[in-house]
Structure 1
Amino acid sequence: MQSKQQLDNVKEIVAQVYKDSNSYSNVIIAAGYVGFFALWSSLKEDLPMWAILSSGALILTSLLIFISFEVYKMCSSSLGLRRVANGLSRPNQNTLAEIQRIQTQMSINNARVWIFTVIPTVITGVGAGLILLICFLMELYASFQ
């Protein structure tokens, strides 16, 4: 059976892994949005209407999910920081440990929500990109005919 200290250490490791993964994912997802919109805007006049509408709907869905999670995370962080500020207003010998506990718990809670948002964000974003790729390949094939 694991001791409370071991469990706390595991929670801190999970929280740190989440923070690192989330930061990396945000950079990749943001770069994907920039790339998609740059390509989409330059090809929009040459795309069939179904491709414009379906890829647009998918990428907007992806963006809404991504932004919703970021807003959730912002609100969660604000509430956590308020709890930290309350703890700092009446410090005692456990204040530092309590702040660490609050930060770890916030990260763990965000990680639980993150997994349910990152998957649909990526799937809908990749779906939008695949539509552009299919249109490109269809046009490429037609040019050889």
Structure 2
Amino acid sequence: MTMSDWPNVDFQNPKSVAAFEKFAEQRQSMMLEINAASYERRAAYTNLIVLAGYAGAFSLWAFVREDITTQGNAAIAICLSVSLMLFVGFEIFKMSRMALWSVKVGKAFRSDMTALEVMGAVKELRLSQQRESLSRLTKIWLVMLVLTLLSASGAVALLFYNMFAQLLGWTPWP
């Protein structure tokens, strides 16, 4: 059955309905796998960019820290620390979720299972994990990303202001 067959499904015929339901289930499973893989790639790419941002912020701060007031350095340290704690905390949360999932996979297997039953159990667990990732984990990831970027952006804004203050003769802040 293909997408073009949908309008022609005879919903009065149990075999046609069963074939349609199987096709729809396979299609849903495929879409879940595509979306989960897409989420994982986005998260990995975002982590790379965030880590590069931290490297840049800490390098910039090391370069100008002596010319910034004590309060300015404290504010920058707080912003960067909050951002790092959020970032690392979420990565630890994700890691613990993966470890729990691995434990579930281990518990799902019984010694009397056939290879086909094992494959079915793994597929069901994977679909369950993908549904959770796409619903709850994606929302949490987005919130943590925004909070992480906001606090890091606060530190970078303070760094830039204080660098421009030095160049233009403004009063350093804070």
Matches within 5 A, 1:24-43: 24-43=45-64
The CA deviation string for residues 18-45 of structure 1, in whole angstroms up to 9 with x for no partner, is 1011000111111111111122122211
Higher relative contact order (CA closer than 8 Å, sequence separation 6+): 1
Q: TM-score, normalised by structure 1?
A: 0.85
The CA deviation string for residues 74-94 of structure 1, in whole angstroms up to 9 with x for no partner, is 110000011112224454151
Shift of 1:132: 0.4
Tell me what 1:95 maps to: 121
Q: Does the C-alpha gap of structure 1 residues 5 and 47 become closer, same or farther in structure 2, counting only changes over 3 Å? A: same
Gaps of 5+ in 2: 1-20
Gaps of 5+ in 1: none
RMSD: 2.2
2:107 corresponds to 1:107:
no
Distance 1:121 1:37 in 2: 15
Distance 1:127 1:17 in 2: 30
Distance 1:34 1:48 in 2: 22
Tell me what 1:54 maps to: 75
2:161 corresponds to 1:140:
no
AA in 2 matched with 1:116: V
Equivalenced residue count is 142
AA in 2 matched with 1:95: A
Q: TM-score, normalised by structure 2?
A: 0.72
Distance 1:30 1:71 in 2: 15
AA in 2 matched with 1:64: M
